[in-house]
Structure 1
Amino acid sequence: MSTAKADSMINTGAVTGPVALTADAAAAHRPIPPVIITGGLWQQWQRVNRDASIPLGLRKLDEAGNFDDLRLAAGDQLDAEYHGPVYMDSDVYKMLESVGFELGNGDDPTLRSFVADAVALIDRAQQDDGYLNSYYQVVAPGQRYAKLENSHELYTAGHLIQAAVALARAGDDQLLPVARRLADHLVQVFLTERKPRLDGHPEAETALVELFRLTGTAAYLDLARRLVEDRGRGLVGHSPVGSAYFQDALPVREMPILTGHAVRAMYLEAGIVDVALETGDRSLLECSIARWEDAVATKTAITGGHGARQLKEAFGEGYELPSDQAYNETCAAVASIHWSWRLLLATGEARFADLIERTLYNVFAASVSLDGLEFFKGNPLQRRHDHEQVIGDPRYRGGWFWSACCPPNVTRLMASLGHYVATVDAETVYLQQYADSELAADLAGGALGLTIRTDLPWQGDVMITIGRAPEAECGIGLRLPPWSERTELAVNGDPVLVEPDAQGYLRLRRRWQAGDTIRLGLDLTPRMITPHPKIDAVRGSVAFERGPLVYCFEQADQEAGVDVERLRSAAEPVITTRPVDDHPGIGRTVLLDVTAAEFDEPPSGLPYFATRPELADRPVTATAIPYFQWSNRDRLPMRVWLPIR
């Protein structure tokens, strides 16, 4: 498809989520209009996000100085100096994007008032030529785009653009003129004048494509394509951390694996896939898929986390997947979901939804406390007794951070969860995630409406009821999760035998009637998981899963006197499920009781032995909780992996 599209009138269309493809996009699947989350765990997450996390974030923007920075940029006389990192404005924009998605879930006068006040301030801070960045307007006004390797100027602009798009799709276009002036400024500087530099932190690419989708302005897509194609040509600039950190060592079509800063890498990949979708560039898509495959195979934690190293918040080498030192940044979980979602739309392959599920239910869900008021920056797989809490330690949650990129990333994804439930092609609706919800989609033969009722991840039944149906035949595709070994399927109570297709779906095609039902019975039998033998850090250990949930052993759940750091799993453990309606400090959960042993402390002294010491084992029952529920009680030890006895 040519990128030389003429401007068209702004079209919010029926799709209001993070990605709304153009009619010409080279996509196998498309997003659908908003899915209404009606109950279950997802509704609980969204309620906490709406009632606790978003209000917290809006307060913190005042307390942390974000708004004062913009007031200084607007010329207001304040008894204050600039506060925070160079990308301070981006937290404001991510919170505005969160509010946009939340307004799409339901109107809220308080949130609309916040938007009006925030946009008025941002509009005043914007310079006449469209430039907008409070740090470089207040602290370093003569250094626009002079230090792009670390300035985050295009990164911050990208978040403003995404906020404007989310708000416009929720019916509030107040921020859109600001975003368009800023985007037009970027087009002038980086496309027309061809400034030979790139921002060290990708993000503008995916945002510009989405603004193109909203407005039809071809220059935004053209600039996004230029930013993608010029990556890896040394245009970020010199930095002691090296070009690979910025994904600037090789052109994107030649880059075989993900390297460097994990969030930057996956934001770039989201932009790469966006450009490929809207230009029909198949080779660009295929190189991103190849990197995704390598990342899944060699750089993904069992929880779906990415970015093993706290140093540089970076990917490690292949199979470098530590447990206690794992970083797995929360922002990387969000970026991973964004990337996988776009690959799912491009290909229609369920494996991308499989990774979204693993990431969502585990590393992402764990990143925010159950009350919605504290956040992890990093998400380790183990915390020891002597892990000291220090500033920036990823093993402990905090209410906000000096570099507060993660909390507003949590709120914007939580508010937009409904948009990840289903996709559609011309004749089929595909259920990608199973949540209590209602949806409707237009197919070639007419509208299909579905009501989904499920108690996942606690119970395995998914009941789908057809509310309205086209007169012609149409399809319903059910993603078959790889963890469900014995799956049951019935239509109107009658068992149906269907094999998953090459894309990973159970497809049912017929002439549906209102009131028809589909029952999908997913197998939640607990599983013992062994790691790839190349993962040195956890070789000889096992972990436990049930359905989409990874489990962990937290000190608070063990028998009196049992030390979680000295637990060893039986080689063939007996695993018992224990549903609990109100577990202390947790609420509803399903516990796993695992036959294990606690070993004695070895002799003191050098911790290496010429002869393996004979350590007495005391049989115990080790209790595990879902990983996403950990660290909501005392800050005690936790581990996902247990060595085998």
Structure 2
Amino acid sequence: MLTNTKKSAFAKVHPLSWDSISWTDGLWADVEKTSQNTISHIQELFESSEISHVVENFKVCSGDHEGEFGGTDFGDGDFYKWLEAFLYNAAKTDNQAAFIEIDDYIDLVGRCQLEDGYISTKQIIGERQDNGIKRFNDINDFEVYNFGHLFTVACLHNRITGKTNFLDIAEKAALYLDKMYEENQRTGEVQTAVCPSHYMGLVELYRTTNNEKYLNLAKLAIELRDLVTNGTDDNQDRLPLKEHKKIIGHAVRANYLYAGVSDLYLEQGDAEYKEMLDRVWRNLIDKKIYITGGCGALYNGTSPYGNFFEDGMVHQAYGYEYQLPNVTAYNETCAAIGNVMWAYRMFQIEPKAEYFDIIEKTMLNTNLAAMNLNGDKFFYENMLRRTKKLDYDLIWPLTRESYISSFCCPPNLARVLAEAFEYAYTVSDDTVWIGLYGGNKGEISLDNGAKFSIEQVTDYPFSGKIALKVTRISGTAPFNINLRIPNWVQKGSITINNEQQKIDGKMSGTYHSVTISESDSEGKIEVVFDMPVRYTIAHPYVEENTNQVAIERGPLVYCMETPDCSLETLDNCLVDATTEFSTEPYELCGSKMMALKGTMLHKEMEHYDGKQLYQTLNQVELKKTEVRLVPYFAWDNRGYGEMKIWMPVLYR
């Protein structure tokens, strides 16, 4: 959830209200429509006692049904995440029937809550049935994770509807945590909650209610991490928080942690936290993030920095610098979403284009790729290469599934895509900052008294042409439109009321300010970003990508799949660095996009045996073959086959 009703004291930019902007056309409008299918699909799964058991757990917990707890320990939190998406969709479509359903769900949750404020269905059912399950017995039971997502959705519900029925439940739960953390502080017996969504959730409670108790509780919860004994890099608690220099351990836990600390900084301005956040962010962006914005490269491993023998296993983890495998890339969808949340908060702290470049890269590539084009099948992990067959089994399926046993990612994805319109703009006193480009319209009021409508017409990210129309509604104060110049832009133009200015490489990765003067009742801005197809190389320490290139156009990463190449295997393809690809309008599963078309080389080798680990290189003959590349987000919609982003390159 993005929208604040309270402006953070140390924020340099602020979100708009949830109803200020709407997508009108183009990719993001299409994604919003598709997310309605996603929301309905997930609701069916959550309502099914045979599949997920999520709603059934609440019904058993409330006493409506008899039975046992079933499904995942974090199912409550996943339900709250989905409910966020359902809320956004109901509000945007004015679906009154959906609001009635939402109130029924809230009533069900409320009937589960214990008198002391505790609420987590697994533990309540377990204690009632005396089956050995009890509250806060194991950090991997995800109780506080469930609390955090409850806080967040309750705040959103209050802001959208004005009702307090959900907020009352959340505040009661927060007061339970308050008593628990005070006791933890008194005794010094502390466990670090996994996937700490509650840091963000507690700060949102403060912003929504203006009750300092919740901000102080968030601060205490974060500070208590430093009291943990025998901490590990998996949980980011081996070192005191302010001593963190590198991003380590479980990627979802890390990204949620730093997003929560960023929220705390936005309210209280602790300079040491800011210095730590900057250090860890640089380590991620400069040395550990994938070209798609995916993060958390490793399935399983051990900490690369702590004691190899004592720190134990690290799951879905950040590894060493430049350790970015392709076939076994983990890149959990929730980690990518967590990184978007963290980057957005870092942007509010310091509005640099880099943060929205990362948000855009991650949203358009990893997040969209995590869902099929129909919105009803999902990846848990997001690989960068799929081969015909592996000689080993990975944890998760190699193709998208309608239901995954660990179902945390789909509802998380549903909410981040349903709320994507909130990433379009942020504001400061006299300035609008453009975040995500896309066809949209709405109204904006600034603190300096200027009120105006804004409309954006574009086919971005498939086209670099963006038309902005700003029409003053009231107020005479001048204001600025800050245009984000993405870091991949080298050439282009900005035309303001028929006066043109060239864009060059020096403007790449910055904001360019356009002023609407007090005498202007209307402003027309046309931005053109040149979008040539470009070949991208990796740092030489990324060993799996040595002498290989990825192909990008604009903010999109492209890939090649089996249906787009006539060869027996994609492994025989090489990119001729002198070849130029052309764009081609293309449609997949009813979704329109821009594909790339061109010629690659393919190798024919004498006496080559693909089963041998090593063999002598004999004569190689290179021939040409026609290929197509599609945006990475559109892959795996045409049946099982090979897929590659990184491909060998021949320089001439």
C-alpha distance 594-535 of structure 1, shift in aligned 2 (>3 A): farther
1:203 aligned to 183, 197, 207, which one? Answer: 197
Among 16, 37, 58, the alignment partner of 1:70 is 58
Distance 2:193 2:494 in 1: 50
Q: Could you tell me which amino acid in structure 1 is paired with residue 117 of structure 2?
A: G
- Structure 2 CA distance, aligned partners of 1:308 and 1:193? 34
Q: Structure 1 residue 147 and structure 2 residue 174: aligned? A: no
Q: Confirm whether residue 94 of structure 1 aligns to residue 100 of structure 2.
A: no
Q: TM-score, normalised by structure 1?
A: 0.92
Residue in structure 1 matched with residue 578 of structure 2 by the alignment: 572
Distance in 2 between residues matched to 1:430 and 1:394, nearest whole Å: 40
Bigger drift between 441-450 and 595-604 goes to 595-604
Tell me the SS of whatever aligns to 2:468: strand
CA contact (8 A) 1:449 1:467 kept: yes
CA distance in 2, matches of 1:502, 1:557: 33
Question: Hey, what's the Cα distance between the residues in 2 that align with 1:352 and 1:368?
Answer: 23
CA pair 555-400 structure 1, distance change in 2 beyond 3 A = same
User: Does structure 2 retain, via aligned residues, the 8 Å contact 1:501–1:507?
Assistant: no
User: Is residue 169 from structure 1 mapped to residue 169 from structure 2 by the alignment?
Assistant: no
> Which residue is equivalent to 1:224?
218
Taking the TM superposition and a 5 Å limit, the aligned residue runs for 1:357-436 are: 357-387=360-390, 392-436=395-439
User: Is 1:47 the equivalent of 2:13?
Assistant: no
Q: Which runs of 5+ in 1 are unaligned?
A: 1-16
Specify which of 440, 462, 475 is matched with residue 466 of structure 2.
462
The residue that corresponds to 2:317 in the other structure is 314
Contact 1:103–1:170 (8 Å) recurs in 2: no
The equivalent position to 2:12 in structure 1, one of 15, 21, 28, is 28
Give, in whole Å, the separation in 2 of the partners of 1:249 and 1:551.
Answer: 39
1:377 shift after superposition: 0.4
CA distances 1:364-409 after superposition (whole Å, capped 9, x unpaired)? 1111110001011011000011148978425211112221100100
1:233 and 1:250 in contact (8 A); partners too: no
Q: Which amino acid aligns with 1:91?
A: D
With over 3 angstroms needed to count, the CA separation of the structure-2 counterparts of 1:565 and 1:606, relative to structure 1, is closer
Contact 1:451 1:466 in 2 (8 A): yes
Aligned partners of 1:383 and 1:390: how far apart in 2? 13
Q: For residue 156 of structure 1, what is the amino acid of its counterpart? A: N
* 1:409-433 per-position Cα deviation (integer Å, ceiling 9, x unaligned): 0110011011111111111111111
1:98 CA displacement: 1.2
Q: CA shift at 1:554, angstroms?
A: 0.6
Q: Report the CA distance between 1:528 and its aligned residue.
A: 0.5
Deviation for aligned residue 1:164: 0.6
- For residue 37 of structure 1, what is the aligned residue in structure 2? 23
1:640 and 2:627 are equivalent in the alignment: no
Q: Measure, in 2, the Cα distance between the counterparts of 1:88 and 1:396.
A: 23
Q: Could you tell me how far apart the structure 2 residues matched to 1:321 and 1:331 are?
A: 18
Question: Could you tell me the TM-score, scaled by structure 2's length?
Answer: 0.91
Q: Output the amino acid matched with 1:553.
A: M
Change over 3 Å in CA distance of 1:144–1:276 after alignment to 2: farther
Deviation at 1:97, TM superposition (A): 1.3
Any idea what SS the aligned residue of 2:241 has?
Answer: coil
Which shifted more, 389-398 or 624-633? 389-398
CA contact under 8 A between 1:597 and 1:618: conserved in structure 2?
yes
CA drift of 1:501 comes to 7.3
- Higher strand residue share: 2
The letter for the 2-side match of 1:213 is: R
Structure 1 residue 40 displacement after superposition: 0.8
Distance 1:362 1:193, change over 3 A: closer
> Which of 349, 353, 357 is the aligned partner of 2:356?
353
SS in 1 for 2:626: strand
1:554 aligns with 2:538: no
Task: Quote the Cα distance in structure 1 between the aligned partners of 2:39 and 2:160.
Answer: 17
Equivalent in the alignment of 2:91: 104
Residue 189 (structure 1) shift: 1.2
What is the rounded CA distance, in whole Å, between the counterparts of 1:203 and 1:491 in structure 2? 43
8 Å CA contact 1:21, 1:30 repeated in 2: no
C-alpha displacement at 1:434, in angstroms? 0.8
Pick the aligned partner of 2:621 from 606, 612, 616: 616
State the aligned residue count.
618
Gaps of 5+ in 2: 301-314
Compute the displacement of 1:179 (Å).
Answer: 0.7
Cα distance in 1 for residues equivalent to 2:142 and 2:411:
17
Of 467, 482, 488, the residue aligned with 2:487 is 482
Q: Distance in 2 between matches of 1:201 and 1:472?
A: 45
Q: CA deviation at 1:472?
A: 2.2
Assess if the C-alpha contact under 8 Å between 2:487 and 2:508 holds in 1.
Answer: no
Over residues 18-76 of structure 1, what are the superposed CA-to-partner deviations in whole Å (9 max), with x where a residue is unaligned? Answer: 241633520111112231111111010000111x1001111111112111111222233
CA distance in 2, matches of 1:338, 1:553: 30
Tell me what 2:612 maps to.
606
Correspondence for 2:267: 278
8 A contact 1:438–1:451 mirrored in 2: yes
Give, in angstroms, the shift of residue 232 of structure 1: 4.3
Structure 2 equivalent of residue 627 of structure 1: 632
Q: 1:278 to 1:65 in 2, by over 3 A?
A: same
State the SS of the aligned residue for 2:233.
helix
Q: Cα distance, 1:613 vs. partner?
A: 2.9
The residue that corresponds to 2:303 in the other structure is none
1:84-118 C-alpha deviation (Å, 9 max, x unpaired): 12212112111111122223323212321221221
Corresponding letter in the other structure for 1:59 = E
Deviation track 1:143-180 (CA, whole Å, cap 9, x = no partner) reads 54443431211111001111111111111433111111
Aligned partner letter, 1:632: N
Selected match of 1:136 from 123, 131, 137:
123
1:182 and 2:194 matched: no
1:184 alignment partner AA: L
Distance (Å, rounded) in 2 between the aligned partners of 1:498 and 1:487: 5
SS of match in other structure, 1:441: strand
SS of residue matched to 1:325: coil
Given that 1:148 and 1:200 are in contact with CA atoms closer than 8 Å, whether structure 2 keeps it comes out as: no
Corresponding letter in the other structure for 2:441: E
CA distance in 2, matches of 1:503, 1:47: 30
Q: Which residue of 2 is the match for residue 268 of structure 1?
A: 257
The worse-fitting range, judged by mean Cα deviation, of 625-634 and 113-122 is: 113-122
Q: 1:465 deviation in Å?
A: 0.5
> Aligned letter for 1:147?
N
Q: Is the 8 A contact 1:133 1:156 kept in 2?
A: yes
For residue 275 of structure 1, give the secondary structure of its aligned residue in structure 2.
helix
Aligned-residue sequence identity (percent) comes to: 28
- Equivalent of residue 519 in structure 1, options 506, 521, 526: 526
